Structure 1
Amino acid sequence: MRALTFGDVIDDVLVFPDGRIRPDTDTDAQIVRRPGGSAANTAAWMAAAGVQTTFVGRVGAFDVARHTALLSEVGVDARIVGDPDHETGTIVVLVDRDERTMLTDRGANAFVDPDEIGDALLGAVDVVHVTGYSLLSGHAEAVGRLVDRAHALGTKVSCTIGSAGSISDLGVDVALDALHGADILVANLDEGAMITGKQGAAAIGAALADLAPVVALTLGHTGVVVIDRGARQFVPSIPAQLVDPTGAGDAFTATFVAHVVGGVDPVNAARRGVEMAAIAVSVRGARPAPAAHAAAA
């Protein structure tokens, strides 16, 4: 099986304050720098799940070799373009137990154009994964064209809604138009409520099921609701030592999508997804360690 993800690749600056943040003075904190970006993270976790994965993205010109190497060492075929005019995207993530506050500079990510992904690559994979971040910066119509091209070539499309705040700013109708016809849809509770206008997992899940035949509605540390062509089932999460929730959603999504496209029924695919998410929250950073890829291989 082969997969393609494209879009955001980020330098994460993870901040773990030692107590309450005090304004206008110092607060002791542990600060960790890690590679990130939802699309790149998803590619890394797909590779960890044993999928041949290609990632297409854009960083500042001086960072091409570094980010290519970081993805290559976890088994991803990284096709990264250097932007001569814009720096690599950066996110400062303030981590407070299972909650995160993110300050985002998309940088070169804003110039990843879905129209530049050729049909030869799109038709050579089994699934192309789209994140909601790829819709930003005026690319929503191009993403819609990519979804149509993928389907015309016989390639499945999976998508995650991404940041509820960003999609709200973009416009829900714009996002839904771009992602029409997705085969697999993953959203968390806040994202699901935002794009459906519903409240409560049951109502949100039912509305999401009108958008895609296979849906995973993630409920944080509780678990996930899986809807497979109208049939609904809850899959509980797995207890794990919470170190850093960054990347847990990408780990679940990558594993869930990989197994569904690979022929596993969605409920069992979700079970494998929550297992991978439990691994993700137990370490700092949003991607698997290179050893995880070696074990999968």
Structure 2
Amino acid sequence: MPDFWIIGPIAWDLALYVDRIPASGHFVQAGESVERPGGTGANVAVALSQAGGRVHMVGYVGADAAGQNMTMTLTAARVDVDHVQVLPGHTSSVVLLIEPNGERTIIGIHADLLHTITIPVEAVAPGDIVYFAAWHDSFTAAAQAMAAAGALVTSVPPGTTPAMQYLIGSRNDFSVIPEEATVIVTEGAKGVTVYSSGKSDHYPAIPTDAVDTTGAGDAFAAGFLWEIGNARPLAEGVHLGLAWAATTVQAKSSMPKTSSAPQSGEDRSTP
């Protein structure tokens, strides 16, 4: 099993459960509110670590209470935080408006400083898996260097396509489907479509009752990367990602709720 390097946001979330998204100028009362750990990078890192992976988190927190909470959350999940930088100011934070069907609307609070972090290119070994859970053009040189050194580099779109083996994102993230990489498009309740070598394959989602879709895409990415890290076929990565996403949407949480990752020789069929 290679090491996983997750580069992306670490955030403190305020989740508000509402019966509807208010129209402009209108009022809505939250039925429930909760502060909780989140951020797409931290979500993927924790999910992979819970499955048993060696995971290095690359990102930043602010010099505030939320940053301390997120550092403790990652450390408790056995994620390596040596490359989590503490920057002056605030930890990333978002407000989540979550409707009864589980769909969420996201409102960012503080400016994103991820583009200012230093990526530890030299620490990544050949065969390691690198996942950019967010993308800035300033990451291009690091991504290309890690790919050239033998790491398997993946990203959310747009990514640096020549450096990427896989691009993973929702349908709304793609204006066009790049041809240079294997593109994995998540489509919520419709499932996932994989574009590769000029053809496409569709995988239906696992039916489930969603209460909170926050972190579902991160759960999918983590499940997919876990199987790729275990040298399993792409289809098995998609199936495990869909299973982890289905488990995640059944819980009120920003971080993925994953079932145990199957070990070598165990049944890998999705529930």
Give the RMSD, CA atoms, in angstroms: 2.6
Q: How far 1:180 moved relative to its partner?
A: 3.5
Structure 1 residue 227: Cα displacement = 3.2
**Inter-CA distance 19–155: structure 2 relative to 1 (3 Å threshold):** closer
Give the TM-score, by structure 2 length. Answer: 0.85
When residues 112 and 293 of structure 1 are mapped into structure 2, their CA distance, relative to the original with a 3 A threshold, is farther
Unaligned 5+ runs, structure 2: 264-271
> Structure 1: which 5+ runs fail to align?
162-174, 197-206
Within a 5 Å distance, the mapping from 1:92-241 to structure 2 comes to 92-96=95-99, 97-107=101-111, 109-114=112-117, 116-123=118-125, 126-132=128-134, 134-135=135-136, 140=137, 142-161=138-157, 175=158, 178-192=160-174, 194=175, 196=176, 207-208=177-178, 210-212=179-181, 214-241=182-209
Structure 2 match to 1:76: 79
Matched, 1:36 2:38: yes
Residues 125/117 of structure 1: CA separation in 2 closer, same or farther (3 Å cut): farther
SS in 2 for 1:221: helix
Q: Equivalences for 1:20-59 in 2 at 5 Å?
A: 21=22, 23=25, 25=27, 27-59=29-61
Kept in 2: contact 1:62–1:82 (CA 8 A):
no
In 1, Cα distance between equivalents of 2:9 and 2:28: 32
Q: How many residues align?
A: 258
Distance 1:10 1:150 in 2: 26
> SS of the counterpart of 1:237?
coil
Deviation at 1:249, TM superposition (A): 0.2
- AA of the residue aligned to 1:53: V
Residue 238 of structure 1 deviates from its aligned partner by 1.0
CA distance in 1, matches of 2:5, 2:126: 9
Contact 2:216 2:256 in 1 (8 A): no
Q: 1:20 to 1:131 in 2, by over 3 A?
A: closer
Q: CA deviation at 1:241?
A: 2.2
Contact 2:8 2:133 in 1 (8 A): yes
Corresponding residue of 1:7? 8
Q: Deviations over 1:198-252 (max 9, x none)?
A: xxxxxxxxx33x031x221111112111234445322111122211000000000
SS of 1:268's equivalent in the other structure is helix
Q: Contact 1:242/1:281 (CA < 8 Å) preserved in 2?
A: yes
Please state how far the C-alpha of 1:145 moved relative to its aligned partner: 0.4
Match of 1:265 in 2: 233
Measured after TM superposition, the shift of residue 24 of structure 1 is 5.4
In 2: Cα distance, 1:67 partner to 1:20 partner? 28
* AA in 2 matched with 1:154: G
Mapped to 2, the partners of 1:233 and 1:49 lie a distance apart of 27
Give the structure with the higher percent helix: 1
Q: Compute the displacement of 1:117 (Å).
A: 2.2
| 1-structure distance, mates of 2:209, 2:26 | 33
TM-score (norm 1): 0.78
CA distance in 2, matches of 1:27, 1:269: 40
Measured in 1, the distance between the counterparts of 2:92 and 2:140 equals 24
Deviation at 1:68, TM superposition (A): 1.6
4+ runs of 1 displaced by more than 3 Å?
18-26, 111-114, 227-231, 291-296
Percent identical among aligned pairs is 25
Q: Residues 263-296 of structure 1: CA distance to partner in whole angstroms, max 9, x if unpaired?
A: 111111100100000111011122146x968999
Q: Note closer, same or farther for the CA distance 1:111–1:147 as it changes in structure 2 (3 Å cut).
A: closer
Which residue identity lines up with residue 29 of structure 1 in the other structure? G
